[in-house]
A = this chain, B = another copy of it.
Amino acid sequence: MRRAIEVAKQGSFTTTPNPNVGCVIVNKNNQIIGEGFHHQAGSPHAEVHALKMVGKAARGTTVYVTLEPCSHFGRTPPCANALVEANVKRVVIAMQDPNPQVAGKGIAILQAAGIEVVCGVLENEAEKINTGFLKRMRTGLPYVQLKMAASLDGKTAMASGESKWITSAVARQDVQVLRAQSSVILSTSATVLADDPSLTVRLDDFPQMLKATYPLGEVRQPVRVILDSQNRLTLNEKVFKQDGETWLVRKSAANLTLPDNVKLIVEDSPDTQINLSHLMQILAEKQINTVFVEAGASLAGALVEQNLVDELIVYLAPKLLGHNARDLCLLPHLTQLSQAPQFSFTDLKQIGDDVRLTLTRKG
């Protein structure tokens, strides 16, 4: 199963909106004879790749799979049936699929065919490779990662606005990898107007090893979602002219001619600002598993205050910018220490000259 989880991770840049799944087939002598992972929605599932590799030798084998085999006809036929037809003897599953279209039905198909099924092996590890997919299936909301970069004293720019660069090139390369794993990169008109960023994934900026193993010829661009409640953007900004889609979020439909790869999302709650919680529901309905937020102190603070952040990823540079520099996070309603949003550290890592701190929301 540990091997199956490793194999599954190879899809982590490309499977969205589908989950990462890995499959390993083992013969009677406990030798691995087949492996597969899910590459991309619409392409064969992990089990199909592994069965194809094994052919008729699948009969009597044990199959390790990181997520319950599917039971429904989607863009591909159900994997549970394929395992039955291949006459495998035993299927070991890390976890049930919470997708209501599956949710135990895959296991039932296998058991009805007389296949021995074990479920729950390395479940915690399997959970971690599909944080976004699983959260969306269970709650109808995407998994939100808020990326921040600051000096040791929590500053993101000088008083003048000068901010290039606080963190090192190696840290910015690390961000490219996190971007590439996400379904959406979320930013704001304020950031677009200030920096005119592309918000794309650039294969050239990947670490060498990843570049060599990226599972597709062409890089998958996460959808860029840009909040523009005051209709300040003209669509002439760089972010609208990149490969892949950009979704412009406004409060009302606008008199705009949209290029093919730009879509308008109207968030029409009664609030004058964009209702972030509603926006997250909309994104989940559009099958967005993970949202990677790269924006300024206002959006960061609003997401934190509304308890919408699942994970904080904070790059800290080994320098001090002092009290006149700009703050990391605006929390206008916070006055007492006991109300401060709390997180838990889950990872600390040195990235080039900087450190990366990862935290999840507490409680």
Give A residues with C-beta under 8 Å from B.
Answer: 150-155, 158-160, 162-164, 166, 297, 301, 304, 312, 314, 316, 318-325, 327-332, 334-337, 340-345, 348-350, 353-355, 357, 359, 362
Contact = CB atoms under 8 A, between A and B. Distances in A.
Contact of A331 (B324, B329, B330, B332): B324
Contact of A343 (B304, B318, B323, B324): B318
Contact of A335 (B155, B159, B163, B304): B159
A164 to B, nearest CB: 8
A161 to B, nearest CB: 10
A355 B350 contact: no
B355 A357 contact: yes
Contact of A316 (B159, B349, B357): B357
20 contacts: A151-B154, A153-B154, A153-B328, A154-B155, A158-B334, A158-B336, A163-B337, A166-B337, A301-B322, A304-B320, A318-B362, A319-B340, A322-B327, A322-B329, A322-B332, A324-B334, A345-B350, A345-B354, A348-B350, A355-B357
Contact of A318 (B162, B164, B331, B344): B344
B318 A329 contact: no
Nearest to A359: B318
Contacts of A342: 318-319
A341 B331 CA distance: 27
Contacts of A163: 337
Say how many copies of this protein the assembly contains: 2
Nearest to A165: B337
A327 B152 contact: no
Contacts of A160: 335-336
Given A331-B320, A337-B162, A312 B348 contact: no
A319 B341 contact: yes
A181 to B, nearest CB: 23
B319 A329 contact: no
Nearest to A312: B152
A164 B340 CA distance: 13
A350 B316 CA distance: 15
Identify the interface centre among A314, A318, A349: most chain B CB within 10 Å of its CB.
A318
A358 to B, nearest CB: 10
Contacts of A150: 153-154
A320 B348 contact: no
Contacts of A340: 151, 319-321
A297 B154 CA distance: 14
Nearest to A166: B337
A197 to B, nearest CB: 18
B331 A322 contact: yes
Contacts of A337: 158, 162-164, 166, 321
A254 B164 CA distance: 50
A335 B325 CA distance: 8
Given A328-B154, A345-B355, A355-B348, A321 B336 contact: no
